[in-house]
């Protein structure tokens, strides 16, 4: 048929409206033919026609969606011409269709199988022409749906020729639907329709992982293993195509709990997880902000956080985007229920509200809640079960490789602008900064920068920068070392001042007994470091008062070079109640468990226990706490050496505490004249002549004096005139041993 003018009419029946065909008279055209309808000189539309006896010759009838799409009015004169599809280029390979209920009042929540829908669509509209933007009505399961063609891809010509696919994809405006075309349904944004099956939304197959993210740019270092574990548990199911996840009956992880020491990157990590995902901007909530003094407001604040996710889930179902909610300081609002002393019980109701929102009766599958705390022991256990915060990840202190990454991140900019001196070896700094957290390493770099800047400030009456030298500013190794020694100390590291006061006079090796204690101590250090079978090694140094037990314990711990050394001493707990004392001791041990290698010195145990022989009385609460902690194995991968000191072995024996230690080492007093002379020689306080005189007096005699006491006597004697020093010393020595029957 040549181009002819026809008149537009209304489709005669509803049944014919559902065929998506333009209806004509049998005298004009045959069913199955394709025509172009030109409404204006520039606009033409392709239709497939169907003949029907009720249509008058010279007219062409369109359904309401067709008239809307082509902008036709009834009685309008239009030009109609035959149209032939080029089957090598215009067969439809894949067609994306936006779908919604035709009438909003007929909506329902039952799921529609998109695979069956696609099969019926192809059967119903086979060999029809479709154009991008075209509107039509489709009947499925006795429901009417309004469709809009969104996108058409041509079929690969190689497949049509029976050859392997070339993989080329070509978009076309108009195409012919054939039996092996692929139809993909995508529900419209505002629709409440629920689709299931493989033929639903291509969008869901897009990866949720942002393609251009990497650790270094994000400023995260030393957390590679933790990130891969979180990814495996929380995101693997979200990256997979939804239909496979659906077939497995797999539910996404809804909660991650990050815990560990302060400054190790928990908040940073949570913030970056949001950037890493193609998700909504994360909602970051500080725990205390949730709480409100008015009744019911705290719970309402929790509900507001989840409102967007709930609304989107109702609207879009499985196609809903991921909503991330980050709780910082989670322990502020999620304490164990029933423990609060307040009469309002606000904490309890907030926890209840959070529990029901994360995994209550009405489940949300489009949320990821990330909680952070450095006190996981305070959090209500109902939150920790699978389905809520099921991925629990410890963000611990970085190892050497992690510290190297962190230092590289924080010095990258200085390196880029040549402000880092060549003598700075980042690997050396990483080795030196044992037990430094990420925040402390950042602080170290800042302190080194300040030290370097300070060199370029003129200290005149006004503070001004020496601009000539400032342009040559470089941060050197000396700046870093100064900051390492003076400015930044790790919270979970070794505080040298702690134990240096115990060994300020050094260790005086006056004989074999001292050497033996140090050698045995070295063996125990090696055992703690290298043995996989004994992650916990404990030793008790016992001996008479003033024999130097604490100094030896401090020396053994210092020589161990463990990154964490703490001395748990009674002098820091003066005036503490029993409960406070127990908590202080427990904190020392808890801190030790955070480090890979730790050494805890429990000094003067009988003083810690408040023991006095009159009565006798002691603190049973502290005793029980110590007994538990001395036997408690550290967490997997951590090793702990405990060194205890006591002057009352007999008392500990009665309290059944000796069994809590792996081994006991006896520390002796100086008991012979020869050892005494050896000690005097090492101390070098007296002259050679004075020492000879003392040696003659003590030769072959039994003495009994602790090294600490000996130092005291020597210092006392040295205050006298030179002529009387020796006689004073011998007199004091005799008094010391007299009441014990020594110095005979």
User: Is 631 labeled as catalytic in the residue annotation?
Assistant: yes
Please answer whether residues 398 and 434 qualify as being in contact, where contact means their C-beta atoms are separated by less than 8 angstroms.
Answer: no
Active site residue 549: yes
Task: Work out the average pLDDT over 529-539.
Answer: 91
Model pTM score: 0.64
Please indicate whether residue 603 is annotated as part of the active site.
yes
**pLDDT of the residue at 461:** 63
Biggest distance spanned by C-alpha atoms of the chain: 145
Task: Out of 202, 708, 728, 734, pick the active-site residue.
Answer: 708
Q: What are phi and psi of 668, to 5 degrees?
A: -90, 160
CA-to-CA dists, residue 510 to 431, 500, 504, 674, 676, angstroms: 36, 21, 17, 9, 7
pLDDT value at residue 108 = 75
pLDDT tens figures, 222-257? 777 777 787 777 777 777 766 677 777 778 888 889
Q: Which of 87, 631, 632, 699 is catalytic?
A: 631
**Phi, psi dihedral angles at 451 (to 5 degrees):** -60, -45
- Check whether 208 has a pLDDT greater than 60: no
Identify the residue with better confidence: 455 or 620.
620
> Tell me, what's the pLDDT at 204?
40
* Catalytic one of 266, 357, 434, 549: 549
Pick the residue with more confidence: 203 or 176? 176
Is residue 217 flagged as an active site residue?
no
Selection from 378, 453, 443, 382 nearest residue 410 by Cα: 443
Catalytic residue among 28, 594, 603, 639: 603
Question: Cα–Cα distances in Å, from 225 out to 212, 215, 393, 402, 431?
Answer: 20, 12, 10, 10, 20
pLDDT tens-digit map of 626-677: 999 999 999 988 999 999 999 999 999 999 899 999 999 999 988 888 888 8
Q: Name the active-site residue from 201, 373, 550, 645.
A: 550
Q: Which two tokens stand for residue 82?
A: 């035959």
**Token pair belonging to 139:** 């009947």
**What pLDDT, on the 0 to 100 scale, is given for residue 704?**
82
409, 297 Cβ separation under 8 angstroms: no
653/740: higher pLDDT: 653
Rounded Cα distance between 706 and 514, Å, is 12
Place of tokens 């010759």: 57
Mean pLDDT of the chain: 83
pLDDT tens digits, one per residue of 563-622: 889 889 898 888 899 999 999 999 999 989 988 899 999 999 999 999 998 888 899 999
What is the pLDDT, as a whole number, of residue 219?
A: 60
The backbone torsions φ and ψ at residue 73, rounded to the nearest 5 degrees and listed phi first, read -120, 155
Name all domains of the chain by residue range, CATH numbers in brackets. 3-82 (2.40.40.20), 92-196 (3.10.330.10), 215-394 (3.40.50.300), 400-487 (1.10.8.60), 496-666 (3.40.50.300), 670-738 (1.10.8.60)
- What stretch of H or E contains 343? none
**Which of the residues 604, 639, 646, 709 is marked catalytic?**
604
pLDDT of residue 203: 43
Clarify whether 48 is annotated catalytic. Answer: no
At CA 34, angle to CA 171 and CA 176, rounded to 5?
A: 30
pLDDT at residue 317 tops 70: no
Please count the residues of the chain. 744
* pLDDT attached to residue 28: 84
Q: Name the least confident of 286-290, 325-329, 519-523, 694-698.
A: 286-290
The per-residue pLDDT for 604 is 92
Q: Give the separation between CA 287 and CA 531, rounded to whole angstroms.
A: 42
The pair of structure tokens assigned to 639 is 């090793």
How far, in Å, CA of 326 to CA of 273, rounded?
A: 10
Q: How far apart are CA 421 and CA 701, in angstroms?
A: 64
- 360-394 pLDDT, tens per residue? 777 788 888 888 888 888 888 888 888 888 888 88
């Amino acid at each position: 048929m040549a181009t002819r003018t026809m008149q537009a009419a209304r489709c005669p029946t509803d049944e014919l409206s559902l065929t998506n065909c333009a209806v004509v008279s049998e005298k004009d055209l045959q069913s199955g033919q394709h025509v172009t309808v030109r409404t204006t000189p520039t606009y033409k539309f392709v239709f497939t026609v169907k003949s029907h006896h009720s249509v008058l010759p010279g007219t062409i009838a369109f359904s309401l969606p067709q008239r809307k799409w082509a902008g036709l009015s009834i009685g309008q004169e239009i030009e109609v011409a035959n149209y032939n599809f080029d089957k090598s280029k215009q067969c439809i390979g894949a067609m994306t269709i936006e779908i919604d209920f035709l009438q909003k009042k007929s909506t329902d929540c039952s799921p529609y199988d998109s695979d069956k829908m696609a099969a019926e669509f192809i059967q119903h509209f086979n060999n029809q022409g479709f154009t991008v933007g075209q509107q039509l009505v489709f009947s499925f399961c006795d429901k009417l749906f309004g469709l809009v063609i969104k996108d058409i891809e041509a079929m690969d010509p190689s497949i049509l020729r029976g050859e392997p696919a070339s993989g080329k994809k070509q978009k076309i405006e108009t195409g012919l639907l054939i039996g092996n075309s692929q139809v993909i349904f995508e529900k419209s944004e505002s629709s409440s329709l629920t689709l299931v099956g493989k033929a639903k939304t291509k969008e869901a197959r897009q990866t949720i992982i942002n393609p251009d993210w990497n650790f270094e740019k994000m400023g995260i270092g030393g957390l590679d293993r933790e990130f891969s574990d979180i990814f495996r548990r929380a995101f693997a199911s979200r990256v997979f195509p939804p239909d496979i996840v659906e077939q497995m009956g797999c539910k996404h992880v809804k909660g991650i709990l990050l815990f560990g020491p302060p400054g190790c990157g928990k908040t940073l990590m949570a913030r970056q997880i949001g950037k890493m995902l193609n998700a909504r901007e994360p909602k970051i909530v500080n725990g205390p902000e949730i709480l409100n003094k008015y009744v019911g407001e705290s719970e309402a604040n929790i509900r507001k956080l989840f409102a967007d996710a709930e609304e989107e889930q109702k609207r879009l179902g499985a196609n809903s985007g991921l909503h991330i909610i980050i709780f910082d300081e989670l322990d502020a609002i999620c304490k164990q229920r029933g423990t609060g002393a307040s009469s309002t019980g606000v904490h309890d109701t907030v926890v209840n509200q959070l529990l029901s929102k994360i995994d209550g009766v009405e489940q949300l599958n489009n949320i990821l809640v990330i909680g952070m705390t450095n006190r996981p022991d305070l959090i209500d256990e109902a939150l920790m079960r699978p389905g809520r915060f099921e991925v629990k990840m410890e963000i611990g202190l970085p190892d050497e490789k992690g510290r190297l990454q962190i230092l590289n991140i924080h010095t990258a900019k200085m390196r880029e602008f040549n402000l880092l001196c060549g003598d700075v070896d980042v690997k050396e700094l990483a080795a030196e900064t044992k037990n430094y957290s990420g925040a402390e390493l950042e602080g170290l770099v800042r302190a080194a920068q300040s030290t370097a800047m300070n060199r370029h400030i003129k200290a005149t009456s006004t503070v001004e920068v020496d601009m000539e030298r400032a342009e040559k500013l470089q941060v050197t190794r000396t700046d870093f070392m100064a900051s390492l020694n003076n400015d930044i100390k790790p919270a979970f590291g070794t505080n040298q001042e702690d134990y240096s006061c115990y060994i300020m006079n050094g260790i005086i090796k006056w004989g074999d007994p001292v050497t033996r204690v140090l050698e045995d101590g070295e063996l125990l250090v090696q055992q703690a470091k290298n043995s996989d079978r004994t992650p916990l090694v404990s030793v008790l140094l016992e001996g008479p008062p003033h024999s130097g037990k604490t100094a030896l314990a401090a020396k053994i711990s210092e020589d161990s070079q463990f990154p964490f050394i703490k001395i748990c001493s009674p002098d820091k707990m003066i005036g503490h109640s029993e409960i406070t004392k127990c908590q202080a001791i427990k904190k020392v041990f808890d801190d030790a468990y955070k480090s890979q290698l730790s050494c805890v010195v429990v000094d003067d145990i009988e003083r810690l226990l408040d023991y006095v022989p009159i009565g006798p009385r002691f603190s049973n609460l502290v005793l029980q706490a110590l007994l538990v902690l001395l036997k408690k194995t550290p967490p997997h991968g951590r090793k702990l050496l405990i060194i205890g000191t006591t002057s009352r072995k007999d008392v500990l024996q009665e309290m059944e505490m000796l069994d809590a230690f792996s081994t006991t080492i006896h520390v002796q007093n100086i008991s012979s004249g020869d050892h005494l002379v050896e000690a005097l020689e090492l101390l070098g306080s007296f002259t050679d002549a004075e020492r000879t005189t003392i040696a003659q007096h003590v030769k072959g005699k039994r003495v009994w004096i602790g090294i600490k006491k000996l130092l005291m006597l020597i210092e006392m004697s040295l205050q006298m005139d030179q002529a009387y020093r020796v006689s004073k010393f011998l007199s004091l020595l005799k008094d010391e041993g007299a009441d014990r029957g020594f110095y005979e």
